Amino acid sequence: MPELVVTALLAPSRLSLKLLRAFMWSLVFSVALVAAAVYGCIAFTHVLCRPRRGCCGRRRSASPACLSDPSLGEHGFLNLKSSGLRLHYVSAGQGNGPLMLFLHGFPENWFSWRYQLREFQSRFHVVAVDLRGYGPSDAPRDVDCYTVDLLLVDIKDVILGLGYSKCVLVAHDWGALLAWHFSIYYPSLVERMVVVSGAPMSVYQDYSLHHISQFFRSHYMFLFQLPWLPEKLLSMSDFQILKTTLTHHKTGIPRLTPNELEAFLYNFSQPGGLIGPLNYYRNLFRNFPLEPQELATPTLLLWGEKDTYLEQGLVEAISSRFVPGRLEAHILPGMGHWIPQSNPQEMHQYMWVFLQDLLD
């Protein structure tokens, strides 16, 4: 068929897609402006209630001692083959078994896996990485440096750079989103997955279009689409919005000590420390609409019954995309979004059973 004819036949579909994306972006930025107004009021209220903290975040001059806890492992840096970026990681148990690679979420870093690093280093080589833009890892400022495709290549380079051909991938929140996509595009590198509180973007997209309540739970994502303003609002009153997110008595991480809170705030308080992490969100809608994808990697999915940010219905939506027999899903009663830190013992029990045959 002549190319001109093919182009003419495809023209209506391409135009419809462009119009859909234009409508989507206009909707996203409209909601983003509303979210900015709401978060702006919250941020300025914090400033008025705590005037001594001022309108900016205080830069921390020294990292908290818990980030250097030797029981968690040794610190190192890995130069990535594809991008040339340098990523920071913490490693323990080398030589004790398969590679277990941990991917954190926002607003976290490698330290969010402290309980799992201690628990599994006796039988696995455990590695918790600071994703690009986080902690001491390299942090390009350009939004285009944080597309999902580039982040997946980072994970591939980490696995191969550590000298392995496959791994057990354990992921939470943003790390979970990356892990789902990594298992689709690099299935040979993932032997098993443990996913906590996170859905594939295509599943999240379809579910949210049919459940408007999920959009309300994810309102912060729309704020993060805007340039520079989210960084400013999150840092006001010495990062009070982030502090509240992590320590709220109902929705935060239970029993988080002041020192542990500082372990997360330390790097965010450095100049430009929030730019990279928020650039992840600024790429979320880049490829809308996404096509449904089949999931096949053997996966343990853990979900908190009281997750503030993600509805339980997403678990069933994820299950519908799976090859039968490959997914083991559990909704954990009374638990929230931060399971690796709030309920590590329960998480570990499920993980040991799920991974036992790899160790026999």
**Single-letter amino acid code for the residue at 90:** V
> What is the strand order of the sheet 125-129 is part of?
74-79, 86-92, 125-129, 99-103, 167-172, 190-196, 299-304, 327-332
Q: Is there a catalytic annotation at residue 173? A: yes
Catalytic pick from 204, 207, 266, 281?
281
For the chain, count helices (H), then strands (E): 13, 8
Q: Cα dist. 194→170, 187, 243, 341 in Å? A: 5, 14, 27, 15
Q: Are 192 and 179 in contact (CB under 8 A)?
A: no
Distance CA 235, CA 240 (A): 7
Q: Is there a catalytic annotation at residue 164? A: no
Catalytic pick from 130, 138, 173, 206?
173
Using CA of residue 179, residue 182, residue 184, residue 190, what is the dihedral sign? negative
Residue 259 CB burial class (10 angstroms; 0-12, 13-18, ≥19):
exposed
Q: Name beta bridge partners: 302.
A: 196, 330
In this structure, the number of other CB atoms found within 10 A of the CB of residue 356 comes to: 10
CA count, 13 A, side-chain hemisphere, 299: 32
Residue of 346, 350, 340, 134 lying closest to 254 (CA atoms): 340
Distance CA 85, CA 349 (A): 36
Q: Is there a catalytic annotation at residue 281? A: yes
Using CA of residue 293, residue 159, residue 324, residue 318, what is the dihedral sign? negative
Look up tokens 């990356």; give the residue: 178
Catalytic pick from 88, 125, 172, 337?
337
Which positions are annotated as active-site residues?
A: 173, 281, 337
